Amino acid sequence: MPVVNSYTELKEAREQRMGAVSMNHIKLNLLHDELIAKAVHLALDTVRSERGNPPAPFAFFLMGSAGRFEQSVWSDQDHGIIFAGNDDSKSYFLRVGAEITNALAVAGYEPCDGKVMASNPLWCKSVADWQLQVADWLEEASWQSLRHFSTFFDSRVLVGEKGYLKELKQTSFSILQDNPDLYIRLIDNVDFLKKGVGIFGQLLPEQQGEQSGTIQLKQKAFFPYVNALRLLALKNKIFAPSTLSRFRQLTNDYQAIKSVESDFIELLDYRLKFRKNAQTYEEVHLIPMQSLNKEAKQELKQLMKKGYKLFSDVKSIIEKECSK
């Protein structure tokens, strides 16, 4: 990356380079990583000038599509901070989180509607408090707490100490192993799938509001694959956050599941093919029905159907394993 000294220059670098990688999933996500990491370092420089060096080692981690290395040309923000030591350091790292959130917003990454960002105290904690938080989410096992936990689990460290996050995931695996009923609760948490294919095999576009006449790719196409592989990753103690990595790290006992990996790759490519010119984060996930020819509609229907079957198969596997 050329020398970038401000958030505005980072935005310009993003605009200049995005077109060249917009049809290559790996290069696109590597560019996002580079831009986000630069935003973090610029934000740290700002906070250092105000408050001095960080008072403790820390990790800045990504979640959501960024955590899974599955971003498209536009992405919103999903991130958190884990820091060593006690709460005396919290105000410093919340300031860092707020500055990172600002830096990324200027660079073109929309703030998360659900405030899943390091500027929010819920997502910026000491190692000890994170251990308690993960345990609390799983112990409470409410719809909201398990949603938070699932969001957290799709995570990877981009800047800082990678070991902190691994320790937290290991805690998760231990709790789940001791409480297998939680797997069923986690299934229930994501079991409602907004179907994109009707009983007569027709695509089901949105019917109301500004999204009327569009297909919602995120909910109707991606979620079944993402949710299914997250459940298997939890059951099989797979640390990797990306859906593709989770496919590849499953043992051969899951051969039928592993065979669906190629369909997920096709779905990633499909989104880039039809949404590479999207102008906003929201548009990335919305495909106007009128923009799809007969062949493209058929391809999308097949990808959706395979995702629904995948989730159904994974649900059956985990329920069967938990009943033993």
- Whether 20 is in a domain gets the answer yes
Domain's final residue, options 179, 202, 228? 179
Q: What is the DSSP string of 130-153?
A: HHHHHHHHHHH--HHHHHHHHHHH
Beta bridge pairs of residue 197 = 203
227: domain range? 186-323
Is residue 1 in a domain?
no
Integer Cα distance of 155 and 197 in angstroms: 30
Contact predicate 1/34, CB 8 Å? yes
Statement to judge: residues 234 and 161 lie in one domain: no
Please give the pLDDT value at position 1: 67
Q: What angle do CA 136, 138, 141 make, to 5 degrees?
A: 105
Whether residue 263 is contained in a domain is answered as yes
Are 115 and 81 within 8 A, CB to CB? Answer: no
Q: What pLDDT is recorded for position 311?
A: 97
Helix crossing, 143-153 with 223-235: angle to 10°?
Answer: 80
Give yes or no: residues 132 and 205 share one domain: no
Element (H, E) at 228: helix 223-235
**246, 254, 222: which is closest to 154 by C-alpha?**
246
Is 138 domain-assigned? yes
Q: Are residues 231 and 142 in the same domain?
A: no
Q: Are residues 87 and 220 in the same domain?
A: no
Whether 202 and 172 share a structural domain? no
Neighbours of 132 (CB within 10 A): 12
Look at residue 200 in the predicted model and tell me its pLDDT.
84
Name the DSSP class of 220: I
Residues 241 and 306 in one domain: yes
Q: Are residues 90 and 226 in the same domain?
A: no
Query: Both 162 and 194 in a single domain?
Result: no
Task: Flag whether 253 is in a domain.
Answer: yes
The answer to whether residues 117 and 199 belong to one domain is no
For residues 171 and 249, membership in a common domain is answered with: no
CATH number of the domain residue 150 falls in:
3.30.460.10
Provide the pLDDT for residue 211.
83
Q: Are residues 165 and 229 both part of a single domain?
A: no
Tens-level pLDDT at each residue, the chain (324 residues): 668 889 999 999 999 999 999 999 999 999 999 999 999 999 999 999 999 999 999 999 999 999 999 999 999 999 999 999 888 899 999 999 999 999 999 999 999 999 999 999 999 999 999 999 999 999 999 999 999 999 999 999 999 999 999 999 999 999 999 999 999 999 999 988 778 898 888 899 988 777 888 999 999 999 999 999 999 999 999 999 999 999 999 999 999 999 999 999 999 999 999 988 888 888 899 999 999 999 999 999 999 999 999 999 999 999 998 887
Q: Which of 156, 179, 202 is the last residue of a domain?
A: 179
Domain C-terminal end among 161, 179, 197? 179
| Burial of 20 (C-beta count, 10 Å sphere; 0-12/13-18/19+) | exposed
Is 122 among the domain residues? yes
pLDDT score recorded for residue 88: 85
125 plus 219 within the same structural domain: no
- Are the CB atoms for 287 and 217 separated by under 8 Å? yes
Task: Centre a 10 Å sphere on the Cβ of residue 131 and count the other Cβ atoms it contains.
Answer: 16
| pTM, two decimal places | 0.96
Please indicate, yes or no, if residue 272 is contained in any of the structural domains. yes
Number of domains in the chain: 2
Q: Are 196 and 216 in contact (CB under 8 A)?
A: yes
Residues 6+ apart with CB under 8 A from 4: 10, 13, 38, 42
Determine, yes or no, domain membership for 2: no
